[in-house]
Chains A and B, each alone.
Chain A
């Protein structure tokens, strides 16, 4: 796949003025994004996502490292690089509230040097895609937050750039609008064939829209992996075993010593064990322990893990991109 964004050894530090303390916001981050890819950029608050995004957008200069967009170094040829990228950084705040929907679209097109006439068809198409046609002459401050958010994305789309960066595209939206935005994003991806980078805390968006995810924590990149691969990787190891009778203390101790991650739940109708297995074969080890006391097994369910849980695990337990070889061979 042709690389459209190449981030190499990116570093950014800030000086806390009062304490005279140096804060490393981004610490030696490197990744590539291919043409047409949809990548999620994740991380807890203060992880360094926004700093990374702003450096890609050319709003912030890195202390070290190089970012190229479509082969153009964005530090050396900032304006040229910006021809290939557009972004929604503050959602509905990126709009002029005293202009109408259409006026906003026309203004931002003009700001990129495009004539009103040249973008007429594109505006029509975007108004339809984003279901804003009936609101085109409405002032932005009279629109709902969801509509404003859609317009902000439409403004970014209007530029027709190779790369679109969306920071929190569903922030503050209700469930219905958030779903609508996700659906539109999927449609865009299919129709436009552009590269999209989404930074979000909404894991449903990441799971349903993105192909790959880059997770940043404490300024460092801790994961750079395909979403489906992460889902497989984490899903395969988690099981819920429903038992016909409670475990004895000896059994509990045996499970505890054999498995690093396990929960024994007794406050349900039937006792249950939530267990993570290092490999699928380890289930037999669990059966051996249950067999000792003839504990009946009523059901075994493989847990479906959502992306939010995966994210939490990665961030808390520090699942690392470097461990991939062992994990990959395990999957194979």
Chain B
């Protein structure tokens, strides 16, 4: 039950902060939408008219997931920087729940809250472009959950690095392009990239949303790769984070800014 209370408390806090920083939240959503519209206008103007529809659909899905990955993966880094600067990270470090559990529930809370925003943005984009995707939640959600797991793995790696180095804003800015690479990779043309985080999950989601596939259209191998990828990355990420936390505690870096 303690983990449920922990999750509830963090979901409530993240939601309250989104509400309290409403201008920032609205500006963030608007920026994402305006950039998407700029990309859409670019495709319209210089894209091949024959493949334009598919190109827009691909852009829509990739772009929305890139935004989500940035918010979740880089977000944890920025959050740790903010918390160490304002002095609240020490309190997290003294919680008997453990920092990693707090980070996990925050990742879950952020995923839920920002997924709602992503769904809103997705429908807004579909309405604006008149390009309709197959939003089959029953097929998307299970795959999305495993895609999220590999995203959490990356988030833990970022969290570990932030705890040790603190000033990693420049790295996070570069890393957003790495995330763009991961979300925009088309696996059929680059099959070896399936070992990278996110790629397999997003490839399957694209197949559902653009090609209209359903869960039963995927093979056992697809699911094995998806689940394996997710578990390996979340395991490696968490292991790396715990190593960094231990290192920071030995060197006096935890909560030190």
> Which A residues contact B (CB, under 8 angstroms)?
12, 14, 51, 54, 57-61, 79-80, 82-83, 85-87, 89-90, 93-99, 103, 106-116, 139, 155
Q: Is the CB–CB distance between B97 and A79 below 8 Å? A: yes
Chain B, Cβ-Cβ closest to A58: B94
Asked whether, in the complex, the Cβ of A59 is within 8 Å of the Cβ of B97, the reply is no
B96 adjacent to chain A (CB < 8 Å): yes
Q: Pick the residue among B9, B21, B93 that contacts A109 (CB under 8 A).
A: B9
Identity of the chain B residue whose Cβ is nearest the Cβ of A88 in the assembled complex: B91
| B13/A82 in contact, CB under 8 A | no
Shortest distance between the CB of A168 and any CB in chain B (Å): 12
Contact B252 A54 (CB under 8 A): yes
The reply to whether A116 and B8 contact each other, CB–CB distance below 8 Å, is: yes
Known pairs A87-B94, A89-B87, A107-B12; list 6 more (Cβ under 8 Å). A14-B251, A57-B93, A61-B246, A85-B94, A97-B86, A109-B9
Tell me whether A113 and B254 are in contact (CB under 8 A): no
Q: Is the interface of B mostly helix, strand, loop or mixed?
A: helix
Ordered nearest first, which 3 A-B pairs have the shortest CB separation?
Answer: A110-B9, A113-B2, A93-B87
Chain B residues in 8 Å Cβ range of A155: 91
Q: Do B13 and A107 touch across chains, with their CB atoms under 8 A apart? A: yes
A202 to B239, CA, bound (A): 43
Instruction: Write the chain B residue with the least CB distance to A117.
Output: B5
Q: From residue A175, how far is it (CB to closest CB) to chain B in Å?
A: 25
Asked, given contacts A51-B252, A99-B13, A115-B1, whether A79 binds B96 with beta carbons under 8 Å apart, the answer is: yes
- A94 to B12, alpha carbons, bound, how many Å? 18
Q: Is B222 an interface residue (CB 8 A)?
A: no
Nearest to A110 among chain B residues (CB) is B9
Once the chains bind, are A113 and B17 in contact (CB under 8 Å)? no
**Bound-state Cα–Cα, A99 to B14, Å:** 10
Interface centre among A82, A86, A111 (most CB of B within 10 A): A111
Q: Quick one: which of A95, A107, A113 has the most chain B CB within 10 A? A: A113
* Contact status A59-B94, CB under 8 Å: yes
Is B148 on the interface with A (CB-CB < 8 A)?
no
B255, A103: Cβ atoms closer than 8 Å: no
- Contact residue among B21, B95, B255 (Cβ-Cβ distance under 8 Å from A112): B95
Contact B90 A90 (CB under 8 A): yes
Task: Identify the B interface with A (CB < 8 A).
Answer: 1-3, 5-6, 8-10, 12-13, 16-17, 20-21, 86-88, 90-98, 102, 246, 249-252, 254-255
Instruction: List the B residue with the shortest CB-CB distance to A111.
Output: B95
A-side contacts of B8, CB under 8 Å = 110, 115-116
- Per the bound structure, the CA–CA distance linking A61 and B86 in Å amounts to 23
Contact at A114–B90, with CB atoms within 8 Å?
A: no
B252 with A14: CB separation less than 8 A: yes
Residues on A with beta carbons closer than 8 Å to the beta carbon of B5: 110, 113-116
* 27 pairs from A and B in contact (CB 8 Å cutoff): A14-B251, A51-B252, A54-B252, A57-B90, A58-B249, A59-B90, A59-B254, A60-B252, A79-B97, A89-B91, A90-B87, A93-B87, A94-B90, A96-B13, A96-B88, A97-B86, A98-B17, A99-B13, A99-B16, A103-B16, A110-B6, A110-B12, A111-B6, A111-B92, A111-B97, A111-B102, A116-B9
Measured between beta carbons, the chain B residues less than 8 angstroms from A54 are: 252
CB distance from B95 to the nearest CB of A (A): 5
- In the complex, the chain B residue whose C-beta lies closest to that of A119 is B5
Residues of B within 8 Å of A89, CB to CB, are: 87, 90-91
Q: Which residues from B are CB-within-8-Å of A116?
A: 5, 8-9
Q: In whole Å, how far is A4's beta carbon from the nearest beta carbon of chain B?
A: 16
Are A113 and B3 neighbours in the complex by a CB distance under 8 Å?
yes
CA distance in complex: A230, B250 (Å): 36
CB distance from B107 to the nearest CB of A (A): 15
Residues of the A chain whose Cβ atoms lie less than 8 Å from the Cβ of B93: 57-59
| Chain A neighbourhood of B13, CB < 8 A | 96, 99, 103, 107
